[in-house]
Amino acid sequence: MPRPSGVERTLGPDELIVSKTDLQGRITYANESFLRIGAFTEAQVIGQPHNLIRHPEMPRAVFKLLWDTVQAKQELFAYVVNLAADGAHYWVLAHVTPSFDASGAVVGYHSNRRSPHPQALAAIKPVYAQVLAEEAKHSTGKAATAAGAALMAQLVARSHGSYDEFVWSLEPQLAGAR
């Protein structure tokens, strides 16, 4: 895993990163934007776990929420900071959904990611910093994830009820979609 370099990349206003995974989270498809922004070749990502782009400053609790949601056959919008192969990072607003076969069984996951609104990032970064600080207090990944998830739920419940409602409140491009 590369070390974060502090270099930030941004997506164009109409640019969309797309990836698909199997049920275990291994990448089965990555579009050109995914490869370019992430500084990867297709051969480097296909068959690899999607968490190969996980930034160390991304709370575990958000990924727990994401997996719990999509495994319950629901969609989730989430703010995510990703790590490129060259150490650069990039923030996205991810929309992750399960993919279904003709009989309704989940066969994988699909994610579209776009550039988040700057005001949304200004609101989410302090929340994530608090959650990361809480996770860092725990010696095991499981305990860290549980503590981070509890704190994140508490922080967003104060003003919005749930993480989902929090995201919807921050992103102007989503406000009209409800």
The pLDDT-based confidence of 91 (bands split at 50, 70, 90) is very high
Question: What value does the mean pLDDT take over residues 75-97?
Answer: 97
What CATH number should be reported for the domain whose range is 17-175? 3.30.450.20
User: Is the C-alpha dihedral spanning 167, 62, 78, 5 positive or negative?
Assistant: positive
What pLDDT, on a 0 to 100 scale, did the predictor assign at position 80?
Answer: 97
In this predicted model, what pLDDT tens digit does every residue of 68-82 receive, in sequence order?
Answer: 999 999 999 999 999
pTM for this predicted structure: 0.91
pLDDT > 70: percent of the chain: 96
CA distance 125 to 91: 10
Q: pLDDT band for 178, please (50, 70, 90 cuts).
A: very low
Secondary structure (DSSP) of 92-132:
EEEEEEEEE-TTS-EEEEEEEEEPPPHHHHHHHHHHHHHHH
Give me the chain's average pLDDT, please: 93
pLDDT bin (cut points 50, 70, 90) of residue 175 is low
Q: Rounded to 10 degrees, what is the CA torsion of 71, 75, 76, 77? A: 150
Please tell me the distance from the alpha carbon of residue 113 to that of residue 19, in angstroms, as a whole number. Answer: 9
* Amino acid 144: pLDDT: 97
Count Cα atoms within 13 angstroms, Cβ side, for 177. 10
User: Kind and range of the H or E element at 178?
Assistant: none
Per-residue pLDDT of 123-149, as tens digits, reads 999 999 999 999 999 999 999 999 999
Order of strands, edge to edge, in the sheet holding 106-114? 27-30, 17-21, 106-114, 89-100, 76-83
Which amino acid is residue 44, in one-letter code?
A: Q
User: 3-class DSSP state for residue 91?
Assistant: strand
pLDDT tens sequence across 24-76: 999 999 999 999 999 999 999 999 999 999 999 999 999 999 999 999 999 99
Q: Can you give the residue ranges of every domain in the chain?
A: 17-175
